[in-house]
Protein backbone atom coordinates (compact mmCIF):
# COMPACT_ATOMS: atom_id res chain seq x y z
CA UNK A 1 0.00 0.00 0.00
CA UNK A 2 1.35 3.40 -1.00
CA UNK A 3 0.27 6.45 1.03
CA UNK A 4 0.78 9.83 -0.68
CA UNK A 5 0.24 12.80 1.61
CA UNK A 6 -0.07 16.41 0.41
CA UNK A 7 0.73 18.60 3.40
CA UNK A 8 2.46 21.71 4.72
CA UNK A 9 4.00 19.56 7.49
CA UNK A 10 5.59 16.47 5.91
CA UNK A 11 7.89 16.02 8.98
CA UNK A 12 4.82 15.54 11.16
CA UNK A 13 3.51 12.76 8.90
CA UNK A 14 6.95 11.12 8.58
CA UNK A 15 7.71 11.27 12.31
CA UNK A 16 4.47 9.54 13.29
CA UNK A 17 4.25 7.03 10.47
CA UNK A 18 7.85 5.80 10.64
CA UNK A 19 7.32 4.95 14.35
CA UNK A 20 6.10 1.64 15.80
CA UNK A 21 4.10 -0.89 13.76
CA UNK A 22 3.67 1.26 10.64
CA UNK A 23 7.40 2.01 10.70
CA UNK A 24 8.21 -1.69 10.86
CA UNK A 25 5.84 -2.36 7.95
CA UNK A 26 7.58 0.38 5.94
CA UNK A 27 10.98 -1.19 6.66
CA UNK A 28 9.69 -4.54 5.40
CA UNK A 29 8.26 -2.96 2.24
CA UNK A 30 4.56 -3.58 2.96
CA UNK A 31 3.83 0.14 3.28
CA UNK A 32 5.26 3.15 1.49
CA UNK A 33 5.04 6.80 2.47
CA UNK A 34 5.38 9.69 0.00
CA UNK A 35 4.91 12.93 1.97
CA UNK A 36 4.85 15.90 -0.42
CA UNK A 37 5.36 19.45 0.87
CA UNK A 38 2.78 21.70 -0.82
CA UNK A 39 5.03 24.69 -0.10
CA UNK A 40 7.60 23.26 -2.55
CA UNK A 41 5.00 23.87 -5.28
CA UNK A 42 4.40 27.56 -4.53
CA UNK A 43 4.28 29.78 -7.63
CA UNK A 44 7.72 31.27 -8.37
CA UNK A 45 6.59 34.89 -7.94
CA UNK A 46 5.12 34.15 -4.48
CA UNK A 47 8.42 32.96 -2.97
CA UNK A 48 7.16 30.01 -0.97
CA UNK A 49 3.77 31.48 -0.06
CA UNK A 50 0.79 29.29 -0.85
CA UNK A 51 -2.05 31.16 0.94
CA UNK A 52 -4.00 34.31 0.10
CA UNK A 53 -7.04 36.32 1.21
CA UNK A 54 -10.58 34.98 0.82
CA UNK A 55 -12.60 36.53 -2.03
CA UNK A 56 -15.69 38.09 -0.46
CA UNK A 57 -13.79 38.90 2.70
CA UNK A 58 -13.76 37.31 6.10
CA UNK A 59 -11.09 36.24 8.53
CA UNK A 60 -8.42 33.72 7.62
CA UNK A 61 -6.24 32.79 4.71
CA UNK A 62 -7.08 30.30 1.98
CA UNK A 63 -4.69 27.76 0.45
CA UNK A 64 -4.48 28.58 -3.25
CA UNK A 65 -5.53 26.16 -5.97
CA UNK A 66 -2.35 26.10 -8.06
CA UNK A 67 0.23 24.95 -5.44
CA UNK A 68 -2.17 22.23 -4.24
CA UNK A 69 -2.75 21.12 -7.83
CA UNK A 70 0.96 21.02 -8.63
CA UNK A 71 1.73 19.02 -5.49
CA UNK A 72 -1.06 16.59 -6.43
CA UNK A 73 0.29 16.18 -9.98
CA UNK A 74 3.78 15.48 -8.60
CA UNK A 75 2.52 12.98 -6.00
CA UNK A 76 0.04 11.21 -8.26
CA UNK A 77 2.23 11.08 -11.40
CA UNK A 78 1.70 7.68 -13.05
CA UNK A 79 -1.30 6.71 -10.90
CA UNK A 80 -4.59 6.03 -12.68
CA UNK A 81 -7.61 7.54 -10.92
CA UNK A 82 -6.40 7.14 -7.33
CA UNK A 83 -8.78 7.81 -4.41
CA UNK A 84 -7.99 11.35 -3.23
CA UNK A 85 -9.14 11.91 0.34
CA UNK A 86 -9.60 15.48 1.56
CA UNK A 87 -9.49 15.77 5.36
CA UNK A 88 -12.33 18.06 6.48
CA UNK A 89 -14.87 18.21 9.32
CA UNK A 90 -17.48 18.62 6.52
CA UNK A 91 -16.73 15.12 5.22
CA UNK A 92 -18.25 11.68 5.68
CA UNK A 93 -17.33 10.26 9.10
CA UNK A 94 -14.52 7.72 8.93
CA UNK A 95 -15.25 4.29 10.41
CA UNK A 96 -13.98 0.69 10.38
CA UNK A 97 -16.02 -0.22 7.27
CA UNK A 98 -14.56 2.71 5.35
CA UNK A 99 -11.06 1.70 6.54
CA UNK A 100 -11.62 -1.84 5.22
CA UNK A 101 -12.80 -0.50 1.86
CA UNK A 102 -9.78 1.81 1.51
CA UNK A 103 -7.37 -0.99 2.55
CA UNK A 104 -8.18 -2.68 -0.80
CA UNK A 105 -6.56 0.17 -2.78
CA UNK A 106 -2.96 0.12 -3.99
CA UNK A 107 -2.47 3.90 -3.71
CA UNK A 108 -4.23 6.48 -1.55
CA UNK A 109 -3.71 10.25 -1.75
CA UNK A 110 -4.43 12.30 1.40
CA UNK A 111 -4.90 16.07 1.10
CA UNK A 112 -4.35 17.94 4.36
CA UNK A 113 -5.67 21.49 4.62
CA UNK A 114 -4.58 24.30 6.90
CA UNK A 115 -5.55 27.92 7.41
CA UNK A 116 -9.26 28.54 6.83
CA UNK A 117 -9.58 26.18 3.89
CA UNK A 118 -8.57 25.34 0.33
CA UNK A 119 -9.80 27.04 -2.87
CA UNK A 120 -12.94 25.08 -3.86
CA UNK A 121 -11.90 24.85 -7.53
CA UNK A 122 -8.96 22.51 -6.92
CA UNK A 123 -11.05 20.42 -4.54
CA UNK A 124 -13.70 20.03 -7.28
CA UNK A 125 -11.00 18.95 -9.71
CA UNK A 126 -8.99 16.37 -7.72
CA UNK A 127 -10.87 15.15 -4.60
CA UNK A 128 -12.85 11.87 -4.73
CA UNK A 129 -13.83 11.65 -1.01
CA UNK A 130 -14.21 14.25 1.74
CA UNK A 131 -13.58 12.60 5.11
CA UNK A 132 -13.91 13.65 8.77
CA UNK A 133 -12.66 11.66 11.77
CA UNK A 134 -15.40 12.90 14.12
CA UNK A 135 -17.48 15.81 15.33
CA UNK A 136 -14.82 18.17 16.65
CA UNK A 137 -12.58 20.72 14.94
CA UNK A 138 -8.81 20.31 14.58
CA UNK A 139 -6.25 22.84 13.37
CA UNK A 140 -5.29 20.85 10.27
CA UNK A 141 -5.72 17.64 8.34
CA UNK A 142 -2.43 15.98 9.36
CA UNK A 143 -3.70 14.23 12.51
CA UNK A 144 -6.86 13.00 10.74
CA UNK A 145 -4.72 11.68 7.85
CA UNK A 146 -2.45 9.85 10.33
CA UNK A 147 -5.46 8.39 12.15
CA UNK A 148 -6.88 7.09 8.87
CA UNK A 149 -3.51 5.80 7.64
CA UNK A 150 -3.01 3.86 10.88
CA UNK A 151 -6.50 2.31 10.76
CA UNK A 152 -6.03 1.35 7.08
CA UNK A 153 -2.41 0.14 7.44
CA UNK A 154 -3.24 -2.42 10.13
CA UNK A 155 -5.73 -4.05 7.73
CA UNK A 156 -3.07 -4.58 5.06
CA UNK A 157 -2.09 -8.28 5.13
CA UNK A 158 1.21 -8.85 6.97
CA UNK A 159 1.31 -5.50 8.77
CA UNK A 160 0.19 -7.00 12.09
CA UNK A 161 2.49 -9.81 13.24
CA UNK A 162 -0.48 -11.88 14.41
CA UNK A 163 -2.80 -11.76 11.40
CA UNK A 164 -5.74 -12.88 13.51
CA UNK A 165 -5.64 -9.91 15.83
CA UNK A 166 -7.14 -7.62 13.18
CA UNK A 167 -10.05 -10.03 12.74
CA UNK A 168 -11.05 -10.82 16.31
CA UNK A 169 -11.15 -7.24 17.55
CA UNK A 170 -14.03 -4.88 18.12
CA UNK A 171 -16.20 -3.80 15.20
CA UNK A 172 -14.78 -6.24 12.66
CA UNK A 173 -16.13 -9.80 12.83
CA UNK A 174 -19.04 -9.57 15.22
CA UNK A 175 -19.61 -5.83 15.74
CA UNK A 176 -19.11 -6.05 19.53
CA UNK A 177 -16.70 -4.29 21.88
CA UNK A 178 -13.67 -6.12 23.27
CA UNK A 179 -13.87 -8.11 26.52
CA UNK A 180 -11.60 -7.07 29.47
CA UNK A 181 -8.12 -8.62 29.67
CA UNK A 182 -5.81 -9.46 32.58
CA UNK A 183 -2.16 -10.41 33.09
CA UNK A 184 0.06 -11.21 36.10
CA UNK A 185 -0.16 -10.91 39.07
CA UNK A 186 -3.35 -12.76 40.07
CA UNK A 187 -4.03 -10.10 42.74
CA UNK A 188 -3.21 -6.40 42.31
CA UNK A 189 -4.30 -3.58 44.70
CA UNK A 190 -6.61 -6.11 46.32
CA UNK A 191 -8.30 -6.88 42.98
CA UNK A 192 -8.48 -10.50 41.78
CA UNK A 193 -8.35 -11.73 38.21
CA UNK A 194 -11.79 -13.25 37.40
CA UNK A 195 -11.37 -16.90 38.57
CA UNK A 196 -12.79 -18.39 35.35
CA UNK A 197 -9.71 -17.09 33.47
CA UNK A 198 -7.48 -19.25 35.73
CA UNK A 199 -9.66 -22.37 35.34
CA UNK A 200 -7.89 -23.72 32.26
CA UNK A 201 -11.29 -24.50 30.70
CA UNK A 202 -10.97 -22.84 27.26
CA UNK A 203 -14.63 -23.36 26.42
CA UNK A 204 -15.74 -21.59 29.59
CA UNK A 205 -13.19 -18.80 29.06
CA UNK A 206 -14.42 -18.18 25.51
CA UNK A 207 -18.04 -18.12 26.71
CA UNK A 208 -17.24 -15.68 29.54
CA UNK A 209 -15.37 -13.37 27.18
CA UNK A 210 -18.23 -13.43 24.73
CA UNK A 211 -20.69 -12.53 27.48
CA UNK A 212 -18.46 -9.69 28.69
CA UNK A 213 -18.44 -8.34 25.12
CA UNK A 214 -22.24 -8.52 24.97
CA UNK A 215 -22.57 -6.76 28.37
CA UNK A 216 -20.04 -4.04 27.57
CA UNK A 217 -21.53 -3.28 24.20
CA UNK A 218 -25.01 -2.89 25.73
CA UNK A 219 -23.68 -0.67 28.55
CA UNK A 220 -21.24 1.50 26.57
CA UNK A 221 -22.34 1.46 22.94
CA UNK A 222 -26.02 0.51 22.70
CA UNK A 223 -25.96 1.97 19.17
CA UNK A 224 -23.76 -0.98 18.06
CA UNK A 225 -25.99 -3.73 19.47
CA UNK A 226 -28.38 -3.78 16.50
CA UNK A 227 -25.53 -4.64 14.13
CA UNK A 228 -24.11 -7.52 16.24
CA UNK A 229 -23.97 -11.01 14.75
CA UNK A 230 -25.50 -13.32 17.40
CA UNK A 231 -25.80 -17.09 17.81
CA UNK A 232 -28.18 -19.21 19.92
CA UNK A 233 -25.99 -19.08 23.06
CA UNK A 234 -25.70 -15.30 22.76
CA UNK A 235 -29.49 -14.96 22.61
CA UNK A 236 -29.86 -17.20 25.68
CA UNK A 237 -27.36 -15.05 27.62
CA UNK A 238 -29.05 -11.82 26.48
CA UNK A 239 -32.38 -13.06 27.86
CA UNK A 240 -30.83 -14.28 31.14
CA UNK A 241 -28.95 -10.98 31.65
CA UNK A 242 -32.04 -8.90 30.82
CA UNK A 243 -30.43 -7.23 27.79
CA UNK A 244 -33.35 -7.83 25.36
CA UNK A 245 -34.01 -4.09 25.06
CA UNK A 246 -30.57 -3.60 23.48
CA UNK A 247 -30.29 -6.50 21.03
CA UNK A 248 -32.48 -7.60 18.10
CA UNK A 249 -33.41 -11.12 19.26
Residues within window 63-92 making contact with ligand 6GU, judged by CB under 6 A:
87-89
Q: How far is the CB of 137 from ligand 6GU (least distance, A)?
A: 5
Q: How far is the CB of 239 from ligand 6GU (least distance, A)?
A: 39
In whole angstroms, what is the distance from residue 168 CA to residue 172 CA?
7
Based on CB atoms, which residue is closest to ligand 6GU, 134 or 226? Answer: 134
Each residue 117-146 as x (binds ligand 6GU by CB under 6 A) or -, in order, gives --------------xxxx-xxx-xx--x--
Q: How far is the CB of 93 from ligand 6GU (least distance, A)?
A: 8
Based on CB atoms, which residue is closest to ligand 6GU, 127 or 214? Answer: 127
Based on CB atoms, which residue is closest to ligand 6GU, 129 or 178? Answer: 129
In whole angstroms, what is the distance from residue 178 CA to residue 181 CA?
9
Based on CB atoms, which residue is closest to ligand 6GU, 83 or 207? Answer: 83
Q: How far is the CB of 115 from ligand 6GU (least distance, A)?
A: 11
# binding residues, ligand 6GU (CB under 6 A): 13
241: CB partners within 8 A, 6+ apart: 211, 214, 215
Based on CB atoms, which residue is closest to ligand 6GU, 10 or 141? Answer: 141
Cis peptide before 32 (omega within 30 of 0): no
Q: How far is the CB of 108 from ligand 6GU (least distance, A)?
A: 14
Q: How far is the CB of 122 from ligand 6GU (least distance, A)?
A: 17
Based on CB atoms, which residue is closest to ligand 6GU, 114 or 210? Answer: 114
In whole angstroms, what is the distance from residue 129 CA to residue 142 CA?
16
Q: Which residues bind ligand 6GU (CB under 6 A)?
A: 87-89, 131-134, 136-138, 140-141, 144
Amino acid sequence: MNFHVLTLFPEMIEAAFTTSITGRAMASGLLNLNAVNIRDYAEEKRKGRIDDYSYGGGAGMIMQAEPVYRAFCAAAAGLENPRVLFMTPQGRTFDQHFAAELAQEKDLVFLCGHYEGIDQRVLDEIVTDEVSIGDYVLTGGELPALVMMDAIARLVPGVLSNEDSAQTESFMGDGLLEYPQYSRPEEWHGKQVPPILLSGDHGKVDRWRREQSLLRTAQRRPDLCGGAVLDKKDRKFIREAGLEEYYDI
